[in-house]
Amino acid sequence: MRSKLSFRLSDISRSPTILQAEAHISTVSDSANFYISSLPTPAPRSSLDGNLEVDVAILGGGFAGVSTALHLAERGLSVALLEAKTVGFGASGRNGGQVLPGLSAGLDGIAKRNGMKVARALWDESVEAVDLVRRLTQRHGISCDLTEGAVTLAVKPKHFKGFTEEKAWLEGEFGYGGLEVWSPEEARVVVRSQRYCGGLYDPRAPHLHPLAFVRGLAFAAETAGARIFENSPVTAIEMDRPVKRLLTGKGAMSARTLVLAGNAYIGKLVPWAAARMMPVASCIVATEPLGSRIGDLLTKSISACDANIVLDYFRPTPDGRLLFGGLANYSGREPSDIAGVLGRRMRHVFPQLAQTRITHAWGGLIDISLYREPLIGAMKDQVFVMQGFSGHGVALATLSGQRVAATILGDEAALSPYDALPRPSFPGGPLRTLGLVLGMAMLKMKDRWA
């Protein structure tokens, strides 16, 4: 049985460094991203100019890289981070904001490939990841609209039939209680749409403003002593030597330990890492403020996604907008008219929004690993990589930074749950994208007809 709680692409999270000119950059301007427009413009950080030596050099200013910097700096190591644009520029400032337990692979798939012991360990890691987000938010006073509650919605009767089994399996095999199975009537009381015929509600799965969260982590890391350089794209990496170097157009950073958190935007800079992930485009729209009309859509301030393989997801904002996301595209390209294409999907779910204006529409990349399992650990001696979150990055990327930091500090068991996972490359070479696009088309047909 696949864990439906564990198969969501709704928190489109990945570390955001854009490393090369040929790497994907969203065609949508920053003003189209609701998260950016809803926050004050931060003070600019300096770029790297000259040479710098540190204990640990980090590439990538998203959840994973910033979390690593924070946890290392708090223990007294000299740490510096290079970000090609600004902190949270990529997925960490573009995702759906859902902080979910589980993994995209599904617990049954993980168990079949790796055994139940590994599946249980990874489930526990995913729950700890959600708890870590809560703790960091509280400890560092990060104002990011953290709100509890998420529901997976049944689009067809077979989804709803599986929810009771799902709840029992997570309680019995993984000790995860508190889930609620909502009947079609109960689900429609909360989610005012005729599209859905039941739900599986998790009161312990929050949602938040992801850009505010990653900016808060970055401020906490700098307060602890980490240095963060923005607008410092890395042009080359020297890692086959005791002292590693990240080279930029204006300088170089040297360290004995290197952490690669470039994720879906790593381009061709690190071929080993790029071969083990596939950039997938996904998009979100935000409506105008709805005022009291938000209650015509959702009667609780929860996040939601459906149980399809290629899913829709949505949640309210504190100012009464609806955020609505989806459109996973394995070609890595966004549609030219995000608002038009995604707006039609949104209005199919909520016909009440037929006359509602969309004020923001943006996209970005998530990174998908071959088995939808995370790749967190050592790539070679004193070179660590974090990627493959496959849609669960808000929580897992944040935890991966803590786990990699613990390993660097000497905890040999910190990464053991991830060491058991395979690290396969995508097959097909230059044709791999075409194969995935065709595969996704088949999955969409399965969503429609199965």
DSSP string, 386-432: EE--TTBHHHHHHHHHHHHHHHHTT-TTTTHHHHTS--PPPTTGGGH
Q: Which two tokens stand for residue 376?
A: 């967190």
Q: How many CB atoms lie within 10 A of CB 359?
A: 15
The structure tokens listed for 207 are 């949602």
Each residue's pLDDT tens digit, 217-235: 999 999 999 999 999 999 9
List, in order, residues 6 or more apart from 58 with CB less than 8 Å away.
65, 68, 69, 79, 80, 81, 82, 258, 259, 261
Query: Is the dihedral angle over the CA atoms 11, 282, 374, 439 positive or is it negative?
Result: positive
- CA angle (134, 124, 154) in 5-degree steps: 80
Of 137, 102, 83, 134, the closest CA to residue 11 belongs to 102
Q: How far apart are CA 389 and CA 329, in angstroms?
A: 16
Q: Which of 402, 15, 357 is nearest to 210 (CA)?
A: 15
Q: Which residues of the chain have pLDDT under 50?
A: 1-28
- Tell me the three state secondary structure of residue 217: helix
What the block records as the tokens of 370 is 């071959």
- 11 and 95 in contact (C-beta within 8 Å)? yes
Q: Are 16 and 267 in contact (CB under 8 A)?
A: no
Interstrand relation of 227-229 and 199-202 (parallel, antiparallel or unpaired): unpaired
- Euclidean distance between CA atoms 62 and 86, whole angstroms: 9
HSE-CB for 298 with a 13 A CA cutoff: 24
- Residue 335's pLDDT is what? 76
Integer Cα distance of 219 and 91 in angstroms: 18
Which residue in 275, 270, 271, 248 sits closest to 259, CA to CA?
270
Structure tokens at 296: 């015509």
Distance CA 341, CA 348 (A): 11
- Amino acid 385 reads V
* Angle at the Cα of 261 from the Cα atoms of 255 and 265, rounded to 5 degrees: 125
**CA–CA separation, 95 vs 389, rounded Å?**
13
Domain spanning 4-419, CATH class: alpha beta
Between CA 259 and CA 415 the distance in angstroms is 14
Structural domain boundaries in the chain: 4-419
Q: What are the E-state strand segments in 50-170?
A: 50-53, 56-59, 79-82, 150-153
Rounded Cα distance, 300 and 107, in Å: 28
**325-340 pLDDT per residue, tens:** 998 776 556 778 999 9
pLDDT in the model for residue 238: 97
